[in-house]
Structure formats: structure tokens, C-alpha cells
Chain A
Amino acid sequence: ILNVEQSPQSLHVQEGDSTNFTCSFPSSNFYALHWYRWETAKSPEALFVMTLNGDEKKKGRISATLNTKEGYSYLYIKGSQPEDSATYLCAFFRLTGGGNKLTFGTGTQLKVEL
């Protein structure tokens, strides 16, 4: 079983604060790292797909970086807004001869307060 860990587990910030989360994953046999935004009772919404070491992606106020050698990715939110409140999931895709699994982290639950 692969361990994909996210930290912190939950986060409360004030509107306007900038924040970041971490996704840690095994560094061997890396293929892709996905970030999702997920609201309860809805399907996860894709944010980024990252495949190359050093990748940096940006979508509005949200950006992400990737370090495949050390096995981590950071997600940043600049100027948090209440509508950013959600759970942010990362998912690690690893190609191996024994089977190809997409493993999700447990998520970071973000609450942005006025």
C-alpha cells in the first residue's frame, strides 16, 4: 500500500490570508500527481495534473509545485476567499509491473472565515 500523506489535516484561515498545503508521496516510479478540490456530496474538481519534476502550475489564485525527487507537492492559495472552503485532495499515480494504482491522500480541509 502506498502512503500518500497530506498536511495539515485541516486548516482555518481568515479571508485574505494566503495558505499552503503539502502532499507527500513515494518518490520511486513516479508518473503523475493530481490535485483536486472537493466539496462534500460532489465529485472532485480537477485543479492540476503535474508530471515533471519542477513543474509549477497556476489557476487563478491557486498554484502548485512539484518535487518528484524528494516526493512532495505544495498547493498554494493566495488571498483566500470563503468560496475556497473545501477539501483539497492530491492523488499519486505510479506505474509498476504489479499494477497501476491511483492513490489519494486523505485531504486537507480548508475553512475560510470572514
Chain B
Amino acid sequence: NAGVTQTPKFRVLKTGQSMTLLCAQDMNHEYMYWYRQDPGMGLRLIHYSVGEGTTAKGEVPDGYNVSRLKKQNFLLGLESAAPSQTSVYFCASIPADSGNTIYFGEGSWLTVV
């Protein structure tokens, strides 16, 4: 997983609090993704970005916002956290040629109480 760093790795939030997860990659990848992983549901796409300054909604975007002001960073924001957002969040990046391997961060464990 060299090259993709997620911060923070663990966080406990109270309902209604806000926070931002940072995904940083140093491989000059164009595409970056935020997923959430819940038991029995695999990885579900929240938002993604195909380049600096562009973002798009995935399967489960509600309650989240993202920004990609710099190519190497993809931020995932929770404006008003809800218990349903308790999950493990994974960031991934990939170069434009998707024949290459997807690079994942190590995950961020978020609990909303």
C-alpha cells in the first residue's frame, strides 16, 4: 500500500459533529476514490475524482462532500455526522490507465455515537 495515506486512522465522533478524512497519494495518479465498507456489503463508492478540481457522486454520496483541490489529495467531509456513517472508509487511487493495480489506503475507522 505504499503511496496512499489516509488520516486519521481512527476517530470517534458525536452525532452532529463534522470532520474531514484526508487521502494523500504521491504517485501522480489521476483517479481517486472514497469507499465505505460495511459488514456484508463489500465496498461501496461514495465519491470519486478523475482529476484535480473534479469530483463526482458514487453509489452512496448522501451525507458526504469531497474536494480535490490538489491532484495528490482527496478530502472526504462529513458535515453533520450520523450513526449510520459509522464505517470503515477506504481511499483508493489509480493511474488513468486502469490496467495497473489499484492502490488502497489502510482504512479509516470511524465511529459516530
Give A contacts to B, CB under 8 Å: 1, 6, 31-32, 34, 36, 41-44, 46, 49, 51, 87, 89, 91, 93, 95, 99-107
The total of chain B residues at the interface (CB under 8 A) is 28
Give B contacts to A, CB under 8 Å: 1, 31, 33, 35, 40-45, 48, 50, 56, 58-59, 88, 90, 92, 94, 98-102, 104-107
Q: Are A32 and B35 in contact (CB under 8 A)?
A: no
A10 nearest in chain B by CB position: B40
Our count of residue pairs bridging A and B at CB distance below 8 angstroms stands at 65
Q: Are B104 and A44 in contact (CB under 8 A)?
A: yes
Inter-chain contacts of B98 with A (CB < 8 A) = 31-32, 49, 93, 95, 100, 102
List the 10 shortest-distance A-B pairs measured between CB atoms, nearest first: A106-B42, A43-B104, A104-B43, A93-B98, A107-B42, A32-B98, A46-B101, A99-B56, A43-B1, A51-B99
